[in-house]
Amino acid sequence: MNAPPTVPLLPEVKPRQLPPEALAALRERFGPHCVTALAVREQHGRDESAFTHVPPPAAVVYAQSTTDVADAVRVAAQWRVPVIPFGIGSSLEGHLLAVQGGISLDLSRMDRIVAVRPDDLTVTVQPGVTRQQLNDAVRHQGLFFPIDPGANATLGGMAATRASGTNAVRYGTMRDNVLALEVVTASGDIIRTGTRARKSSAGYDLTRLFVGSVGTLGVITELTLRLYPLPEAVSAAICSFPSIEAAVRTTIAIIQMGVPIARCELLDARTVRAVNAHSKLTLREAPLLLMEFHGSPSGVREQAELVQAIADEHGAQAFEWATTPEERSRLWTARHHAFFAALQTRPGCRAITTDACVPISQLATNVVAAVADAEAAGLPYFLVGHVGDGNFHMGYLIDPDNPAERDTAEQLNRALVQRALASGGTCTGEHGVGLHKREFLRAEAGDGALAVMRAIKAALDPLDILNPGKVLLPA
């Protein structure tokens, strides 16, 4: 049997016990919607991160309304126990883990689309509505919601983590597309932030304070989002390159020339090989760009011709088009499954992932250096990237019971992040800080900004019951 990992997997904190009186109060209020079965608790005590041996929450409460959320938070506040919002569990950075025990508050049953306003290009939803559910509901009105993190995540979870994804280069992130929120505070009060108007100068921007706070400042119970008209024409293209650097240099040139590309995704040769095996494709097993263009038929054609010319200058090979919805769907589904395709290349492994984002001019340097480090270390890895906005992901595939591999992966991750910060970038473009990247926040934000963050947390959650232990290291 292998020795325990040498890298701490979880912060060493004493769990806060759920008193019998608190559990009795939850059972009285929620009846069968308060669950303590071990299998359910374990399901809510893990995510897609590489953290292992995680204690489950003491209870799971299934909320079905804002009132349910408020009542659950009030019980937690009364007994000073943690409450952790839960969507579908797709976090990669340990956001959902009950590191201090407490209550997992499952919002997935709050899945109602409250109001679609096509004339205003807005929609109001409950937090358990998923991205695909929303798009299925508004498609017949010629609308869509563009934020696409890959997983069919809940919109509440996407707002809480400030998600982005493949369309961010054109449509922005959740930060740019959330207009208003309903939030339950740490005291159990219900507040509203923002309006349906496209802009406002009224007071502090509380909406963007809660977007990205991963449930540490409040629990999101309703969202008003921007919608967009479905593009008149859509075309996708793939092209292979002789090297990763050539693919990234092509991306940089596309962005610097102002081409309004909707998606621009990078896969390295290892990832293409895994995707081919997983999705039964026959893509050329070389560094690859997968791109998509939105607009009028003539606009899409002009964009595509310009991009093809740029790609040719950087040695692109096998430029292919996918113009039918079926062809595009197959390609993008395969791209979205790249994480799981990579996991299947090493059965039983876990992925330690990172998602640095750098200024576009620094992208090639950072990607090439990250790949060189991984190759030198000899650890299996995969590379994907939303490279149109300078965001790339490295996933290091480790044996979770092998401490040496975990140490190597963490060293690679640390070097990658430090290089990104030195380039004027960030330690996380979209996954969020969670548990895994808390150590990097001081280097990125500075002690002064961290002090402000802690002051905000203390003011809004003085009992530290809302998803404690996430984002901020202890002072």
pLDDT, the chain, mean? 93
The model's pLDDT over 164-192, given as tens digits with 9 standing for 90+, comes to 989 999 999 999 999 999 999 999 999 99
Beta strands 83-86 and 228-229, pairing class? unpaired
Beta strands 288-295 and 219-226, pairing class? unpaired
Q: What is the pLDDT of residue 451?
A: 96
Contact 76, 82 (CB under 8 A): yes
Q: What is the pLDDT of residue 13?
A: 66
Q: What is the pLDDT of residue 47?
A: 87
Higher pLDDT, 11 or 183: 183
Higher pLDDT, 17 or 29: 29
Dihedral (CA of 379, 384, 386, 388) sign: positive
Q: Length of the chain in residues, anyone?
A: 475
Q: What is the pLDDT of residue 403?
A: 92
The model's pLDDT over 341-360, given as tens digits with 9 standing for 90+, comes to 999 999 999 999 889 999 99
How deeply is 20 buried, as exposed, middle or buried, from its count of CB atoms within 10 A (0-12, 13-18, 19+)? exposed
Measured torsion, CA atoms of residues 214, 218, 219, 220, in degrees rounded to the nearest 10: -90
How deeply is 355 buried, as exposed, middle or buried, from its count of CB atoms within 10 A (0-12, 13-18, 19+)? buried
Q: What is the pLDDT of residue 150?
A: 80
Check: pTM over 0.85? Answer yes or no: yes
Coil/strand/helix, residue 109: coil
The model's pLDDT over 301-323, given as tens digits with 9 standing for 90+, comes to 899 889 999 999 999 988 888 87
- The arithmetic mean of pLDDT across residues 293-300, rounded, is 92
Q: Cα–Cα distances in Å, from 419 out to 4, 107, 365, 377?
A: 30, 37, 9, 17
Give the class (CATH, top level) of 234-422: alpha beta
Distance CA 305, CA 431 (A): 33
Distance CA 137, CA 378 (A): 46
Residue 1, pLDDT > 70, answer no
Residue 433, pLDDT > 70, answer yes
Which numeric CATH code is attached to 113-229?
3.30.465.10
The model's pLDDT over 392-421, given as tens digits with 9 standing for 90+, comes to 999 999 998 899 999 999 999 999 999 999
Q: How many CB atoms lie within 10 A of CB 262?
A: 23
The model's pLDDT over 54-67, given as tens digits with 9 standing for 90+, comes to 889 999 999 999 99
Higher pLDDT, 457 or 199: 457
Q: How confident is residue 15, by pLDDT bands cut at 50, 70 and 90?
A: confident
Q: What is the pLDDT of residue 2?
A: 39
What percent of the chain is predicted at pLDDT more than 70?
Answer: 97
Q: What is the pLDDT of residue 271?
A: 96
Q: How confident is residue 10, by pLDDT bands cut at 50, 70 and 90?
A: low
Residue 4, pLDDT > 50, answer no
The model's pLDDT over 194-252, given as tens digits with 9 standing for 90+, comes to 999 999 999 999 999 999 999 999 999 999 999 999 999 999 999 999 999 999 999 99
In the chain, domain spans: 20-106, 113-229, 234-422
Give the class (CATH, top level) of 20-106: alpha beta
For residue 414, give every residue at least 6 positions away whose Cβ sits within 8 Å of its Cβ, in sequence order, or none. Answer: none
Q: What is the pLDDT of residue 8?
A: 43
The mean-pLDDT minimum among 12-26, 66-80, 243-257 falls in 12-26
Q: How confident is residue 11, by pLDDT bands cut at 50, 70 and 90?
A: low
